[in-house]
Structure 1
């Protein structure tokens, strides 16, 4: 049926599609393992008596293994049969405006994500799903924690196909909202071949970087105290309990890390692949990256390694969702500067001239001699540099032992705060805080003179803000 003249044809959604039949079991694997461990712990005495009886009866080991395998297979089969109603009720559907996921038998749940609110589309391969060559697709939206929509699980090829389709729909939605009159790109030209942006990080480098991170020093101190004090074990166990999860997180987010760039020049997409226990493919549009930070932990100075993090509009720090805001978990200085030149507002010449954290230039506003009383080590290493006649980039640097440098385009600064505490009033100092989108990058012009802090505040207040539609696209 043809739509009347002047009316838009009605958009019809596709039918609901089901996920893989193993999805309910894989989604509940942690709970199943927990129940199994609990049952084994509660029946430890019975199992011990059974082991003694089997030893006395002389049952062949091969038969025991065969029976154990059969019992495990039977339990898994029973669990799969019981999960079929949940699989039958789970499905997803993609329309031109949104993706919807439904699940639940007794309690039904429907979650949707509109493409004009999508921040990222990730391919996730958890460890239990990888032997079955299954993967999930996670759609992150601008709604805070818990607002993501996840399709779990599909075959790896189907998941990759769904991810590419969603990225195309999200890109089309962004193009329409940015410029409704702009012509659509021909099919096949919207996403050119990807090129390697960051080669795969060696596994040994990931391991050494995790071992040389800041918490290693605390672990060494705890170990020394545990060996030299009577209450050593009481100190060691809490230290290890806090250190091991952190170490695992750092290692998991840098394991076999690689990054690619794709898309047209004015709308490029950064593709990130990483993960040990959970392999993940993450996509970040470059126009959503607001701020870039280069940092070097103290122990990394031994090997000359650096880390690059970004602040992404509407993305936050992503600690709870498993995504990462580290676009270079560990690399040399040349890699870090190259990443900064591509993702930040500076050209390559400006990056090497103004944003080299090892050879800093004279800042536009620096800390005076009076700041030595509060920053005896960092005073000469901290300052703010405004780049260009039109001030198209702001650079904040600080730290002599652990170095940090942050870069942002003034138009991406959300708010400005002028601060002067009691010590600052005594020494004639003031700070200017640059409020950014939530994320790992935080910028502050530290310990300036009152006159310099006021002058910096006036210059940044005169910044040119992005158009409302472009600014709101990332919120």
Structure 2
């Protein structure tokens, strides 16, 4: 296994256009095959079966089919020929397109995460797509589709090594931009000698979810609650009105809920988490598999949530905001923001130890347990004042915040528990919000603006003076934390359980 020399333009795998364009081929085959079947099985105006095509007709049809296949093969060849990529000491570049040319570039020091994606057809050919996520509001800046799986892993290790400062290239440092310019003018089809391979950083497994837990978590998820509520509403509506509209309403409801539950199951199946020098590495997927690597310091915010039915099992979900992942309107976007689909409290602490290796408190178990499951002023959380209980009758004792030396913890939700954690250096901006009801009860909301994602940090219904004081102090903390932040180029060994701040024994009743 080898990596391309620094600055050398390299093409993707020759089968890549077929893997990308198989849907077009399948649609073409379906339309053509359907027409042939209809022509052969149809009937004349008199009702007699259609006569089988003669030899001349078959020959013409075969020639047309061969011509179409040759045109498609030529288009696939052009697509492959004009798709090439370059890795330097500072950038990853991808050039693609035949008529409409596209040039994408990602700076290595701005890479937020690197994913290896294997759709079902790519897995058959032993190929994978490499995606480099940068801070661009949710769209992947660079796609390399497709490479051999081993080559994709090697290239990922090379890019992460250079981004972290663990690997340096003498060719990159010696040539710099001049080497890049020379590579631009070089023949992209020229053969180059092999370069030494770059091995992936060793990883330490953290946890793996069993299929049984994934199935149970899916059946007890919020989607199931929505389905139960919808079916109950349809039954009540049918009984009250007597109108036979239940099936019309029920079918879309079943399809929508079924699709959501299938997405939840398929993107959580075979979930495994580990940690390496390059960051947190997670794998998951039933049909389409994905391997994500999130470097240290790239997580902007994290949340721990618990749907109501999960209280029966004591499970929690961990979601994150990563610049480049975005909110995620599709299945992949929703899945890649989850660091833990369904885990116990001890497993939550294992993941939090990776995300926040310095919790900033000498009693992290007590503090984070109070944030996840507690209420009132447990562990020092400042809560909604009692006078405002009328505008938050269920959650006023649950709402609250707590500051540590490294992060701001925000908890909310009486039925749907949520704990949001924002490291001080990841605070982008803040805003104080106060509507008419909040003004009436002298309370305010403090909103922390993060990168797009599922985590939306908001300190709810806090005392006016406390909210304004937190606004001023948090701005100063964020400014100082960003000044001291050194996670842009990381090169630290993987954390071990001996230094895990959350490794203290957890009481049995909290597990």
Same fold (TM over 0.5): yes
Alignment of 1:292-303 (within 5 A): 292-303=302-313
- 1:220 corresponds in structure 2 to 228
Please give the alpha-carbon distance, in whole angstroms, between the structure 2 residues aligned to 1:293 and 1:202.
23
The structure-2 alpha-carbon separation of the partners of 1:219 and 1:33, relative to structure 1 and needing over 3 Å to count, comes to farther
Does structure 2 retain, via aligned residues, the 8 Å contact 1:317–1:324? no
Q: What is the CA deviation profile of residues 421-472 of structure 1, one whole-angstrom value per residue up to 9, with x for unaligned ones? A: 1111222222222222332222222112223223323332331523469599
Secondary structure of 1:277 counterpart: coil
Secondary structure of 2:317 counterpart: strand
Secondary structure of 2:269 counterpart: coil
RMSD between superposed Cα atoms in Å: 3.7
- 1:160 corresponds in structure 2 to 153
Alignment of 1:138-217 (within 5 A): 138-172=131-165, 193-198=202-207, 200-217=208-225
Alignment of 1:6-45 (within 5 A): 13-38=6-31, 45=38
- 1:422 corresponds in structure 2 to 436
Deviation at residue 282 of structure 1 after TM alignment: 0.8
Please give the alpha-carbon distance, in whole angstroms, between the structure 2 residues aligned to 1:306 and 1:73.
56
Does structure 2 retain, via aligned residues, the 8 Å contact 1:86–1:104? yes
Secondary structure of 1:307 counterpart: strand
The structure-2 alpha-carbon separation of the partners of 1:404 and 1:316, relative to structure 1 and needing over 3 Å to count, comes to same
Does structure 1 retain, via aligned residues, the 8 Å contact 2:82–2:96? yes
Does structure 2 retain, via aligned residues, the 8 Å contact 1:135–1:153? yes
- 2:401 corresponds in structure 1 to 384
* More displaced stretch, 41-50 vs 364-373: 41-50
- 1:5 corresponds in structure 2 to none
* More displaced stretch, 425-434 vs 12-21: 12-21
Q: What is the CA deviation profile of residues 206-238 of structure 1, one whole-angstrom value per residue up to 9, with x for unaligned ones? A: 222222211212223333455645112221233
- 1:333 corresponds in structure 2 to 345
Q: What is the CA deviation profile of residues 76-124 of structure 1, one whole-angstrom value per residue up to 9, with x for unaligned ones? A: 8985465223222322222222222222333333322222322222111
Secondary structure of 2:458 counterpart: strand
Secondary structure of 2:309 counterpart: helix
Please give the alpha-carbon distance, in whole angstroms, between the structure 1 residues aligned to 2:344 and 2:440.
41
Does structure 1 retain, via aligned residues, the 8 Å contact 2:214–2:268? yes
Deviation at residue 148 of structure 1 after TM alignment: 2.0
Please give the alpha-carbon distance, in whole angstroms, between the structure 2 residues aligned to 1:175 and 1:428.
57
The structure-2 alpha-carbon separation of the partners of 1:41 and 1:370, relative to structure 1 and needing over 3 Å to count, comes to farther
Please give the alpha-carbon distance, in whole angstroms, between the structure 2 residues aligned to 1:39 and 1:470.
60
Deviation at residue 42 of structure 1 after TM alignment: 6.5
Please give the alpha-carbon distance, in whole angstroms, between the structure 1 residues aligned to 2:40 and 2:315.
52
Does structure 2 retain, via aligned residues, the 8 Å contact 1:219–1:240? yes
Please give the alpha-carbon distance, in whole angstroms, between the structure 2 residues aligned to 1:269 and 1:83.
37
- 2:61 corresponds in structure 1 to none
Secondary structure of 2:414 counterpart: coil
1:89 to 82, 85, 102: 82
Please give the alpha-carbon distance, in whole angstroms, between the structure 1 residues aligned to 2:346 and 2:219.
22
- 1:354 corresponds in structure 2 to 367
Q: What is the CA deviation profile of residues 152-206 of structure 1, one whole-angstrom value per residue up to 9, with x for unaligned ones? A: 1122222222222222222239999xxx9xxxxxx999975210122x2112222
Does structure 2 retain, via aligned residues, the 8 Å contact 1:294–1:406? yes
- 2:265 corresponds in structure 1 to 251
Secondary structure of 2:444 counterpart: strand
Please give the alpha-carbon distance, in whole angstroms, between the structure 1 residues aligned to 2:417 and 2:69.
52
Please give the alpha-carbon distance, in whole angstroms, between the structure 1 residues aligned to 2:66 and 2:267.
33
- 2:321 corresponds in structure 1 to 311
Please give the alpha-carbon distance, in whole angstroms, between the structure 2 residues aligned to 1:208 and 1:37.
38
* More displaced stretch, 245-254 vs 153-162: 245-254
Q: What is the CA deviation profile of residues 38-77 of structure 1, one whole-angstrom value per residue up to 9, with x for unaligned ones? A: 5566777446549xx99x99xxxxxxxxxxxxxx999989
Aligned residues: 432
- 1:280 corresponds in structure 2 to 290
1:373 to 386, 390, 397: 390
* More displaced stretch, 224-233 vs 412-421: 224-233
Higher relative contact order (CA 8 A, sep 6+): 2
Secondary structure of 2:297 counterpart: helix
Secondary structure of 2:419 counterpart: strand
Please give the alpha-carbon distance, in whole angstroms, between the structure 1 residues aligned to 2:465 and 2:303.
27
- TM-score under structure 1 length normalisation: 0.79
Q: What is the CA deviation profile of residues 340-366 of structure 1, one whole-angstrom value per residue up to 9, with x for unaligned ones? A: 233124168532111102245154421
Please give the alpha-carbon distance, in whole angstroms, between the structure 2 residues aligned to 1:274 and 1:394.
30
Does structure 1 retain, via aligned residues, the 8 Å contact 2:133–2:139? no
Secondary structure of 2:268 counterpart: coil
Please give the alpha-carbon distance, in whole angstroms, between the structure 2 residues aligned to 1:188 and 1:133.
19
Deviation at residue 330 of structure 1 after TM alignment: 0.8
